[in-house]
Structure 1
């Protein structure tokens, strides 16, 4: 399931320069720890890692590391039953998010036309179960961000509609105004392929970026919006669109307010931001901007958005575009 999460770091060699290999996690050692504990069905260790990471310090990646682990659904409800009522909220959160990942495993990444009715039935059933868990968590812990962010994802899968989807997004950002994942989910929600429009998507991206302080990671939204419109076009018009002067200008303005800003800090999903700008600038023919981003990423490839160019081999897409701009 492509959830636009920050990925990790592996380096290799390529043509005598820094390699280009897809990241597995953000480099946070707790991600590997919690994943290993989940694989071992060791709830006590999973709980310890998650409980030590406050919501305000970005617990999302840790939760998805657990949720994307096969078999968690088989033991998490047993772990929940063993918890005291006052300590069971975290287990409910894990159960809810695991059911989202498990739902997409049933649906697969295929186009809707290629997904069977039986697959959709399982997909929707698991998402509805996820929503039950997540609403319980939201009621128990009103300040937590994670359940509302996860409800944005279930909402799109269940096609709850733009009005309810917007309310879920607003519930997330009331608790964390610059939550990158929440903004990414809302951008997807209002893009044309999900029933929105290009105009609404671009307006949301720019308002979010320039409504945030300089150095914001939300700068990611502008290149992603342009890439989404590029994807919607046929060969020929897609390249012409990306090379429009107004598109190049908007990318440069967003870069200036984001990773080029003196207050930008390499934290969290910083490398995802640079990868998105690298792809957008290279498609737009801005060789200077693209080379700048490729130098900063230094071979650290995020699966998104490069999978749009080469779904099975994002690193190959990264290398090809890097070579094209002379980096």
Structure 2
């Protein structure tokens, strides 16, 4: 089977709606304040769908909070409205904080973050009280637990409430994984252990194997100099990444659920960095020109240029 030369391939497409067209429709409906259409769409999703994806798309629409407050006031039992408004408050708070490391965030920024997270908490507590099985609300409560520094035990409690109804919820898994990293008060032992636990518990072909790739990326980026350069050369790291890829993105039954582009990108980046060009090339071919900003924004100043450089090398040599 022949493949087009790398130089003829289009640049990476970071627009999430290119992988999931419903994202564009959701944002348009939110901008048009068409709550009835949004409700009908989300309520009609098959059981087991990761509804945190839809909630995130809606929460990213500027100004959506202005009219959603009216929806919540008029129908205080609307779990979706409570969840989206809560998610929007979380997003506003995080925009104030920025994604900088804690030592580079001002007291005023932290205060702004915490004020919005506390508002979000009240909305999300109501949502999970009304519907204890509502996955998107529990997923957002994992983010508020992290931002409000409620601790590892509380984060685990919330995760357990989520997985009681949704045992392999990828968004929830990814959010708890962040909490378990040292930067949020966890440890590498806990983070790696959780990622592996999720991978082994999930059916083969599930996204959960991507957690292993994510935690190795986090661990590598936390190192400096020679330690960072040598991280992926360790035999056990390579073995874990190959196993995780073969249980997820390289498995014949891999399911392209919400988040698959990011997961595929993590493996493409790892295999490229470690010089495993055949596996890197397989990941890039599966992506086509789809991409998410992570992990490429962590590997160079220009995510598109970084993606192209790694992709072209992998396809030329793999």
Residue 124 of structure 2 aligns to a residue whose secondary structure is: helix
Aligned to 2:130: 140
Deviation at 1:23, TM superposition (A): 2.8
Residues 213-255 of structure 1, C-alpha deviation per residue, up to 9 Å, x if partnerless? 2111101011111111110111222121111122111111111
SS of equivalent to 1:301:
coil
The alignment yields a C-alpha RMSD, in angstroms, of 2.0
1:183 maps to 173
> What do the CA deviations read for 1:106-126 (whole angstroms, capped 9, x no partner)?
212233233222221121011
Question: 1:243 is paired with a residue of what secondary structure?
Answer: coil
Contact kept? 1:26, 1:269, Cα under 8 Å: no
Q: 254, 259, 262: which one pairs with 1:269?
A: 259
CA contact (8 A) 2:117 2:147 kept: yes
Determine if the alignment matches structure 1 residue 72 to structure 2 residue 61: no
User: How far, CA to CA, are the matches of 1:191 and 1:139 in structure 2?
Assistant: 29
Please give the TM-score of this superposition, normalised by the length of structure 2: 0.91
Following the alignment from structure 1 to structure 2, what is the Cα–Cα distance between the partners of residues 26 and 154?
29
Name which of 29, 34, 39 aligns with 1:37. Answer: 29
Q: What is residue 27 of structure 1 aligned with on the other side?
A: 19
CA contact (8 A) 1:30 1:49 kept: no
CA contact (8 A) 2:51 2:135 kept: no
Which of 192, 200, 218 pairs up with 1:210?
A: 200
Q: Please, which runs of 5 or more residues in structure 2 have no aligned partner?
A: none
Q: State how far apart, in whole Å, the 2-side matches of 1:186 and 1:208 are.
A: 11
- Residues 157-201 of structure 1 show CA distances to partners (whole Å, capped at 9, x for unaligned) of 000011111111111111111111111111111112222222221
Write out aligned runs for 1:1-327 (5 A): 15-25=7-17, 27-54=19-46, 56-83=48-75, 86=77, 88-310=78-300, 313-327=302-316
Between the aligned partners of 1:17 and 1:27, the Cα distance in structure 2 is: 17
Tell me, what secondary structure is at the counterpart of 1:300?
A: coil
Task: After TM superposition, give the deviation of residue 315 of structure 1 in Å.
Answer: 1.9
Q: More deviation in 317-326 or 140-149?
A: 317-326
Long gaps (5+) in structure 1: 1-12
**Partners in 1 of 2:73 and 2:228 — Cα distance?**
53
Distance 1:28 1:294 in 2: 18
Tell me how far 1:79 sits from its aligned partner: 1.8
Q: Is the 8 A contact 1:239 1:284 kept in 2?
A: no
Say if 1:293 and 1:30 are closer, same or farther in 2 by CA, change over 3 A. closer
The secondary structure found in structure 2 opposite 1:56 is coil
Aligned counterparts of 1:283 and 1:34: Cα–Cα separation in 2? 36
* 1:110 partner SS: coil
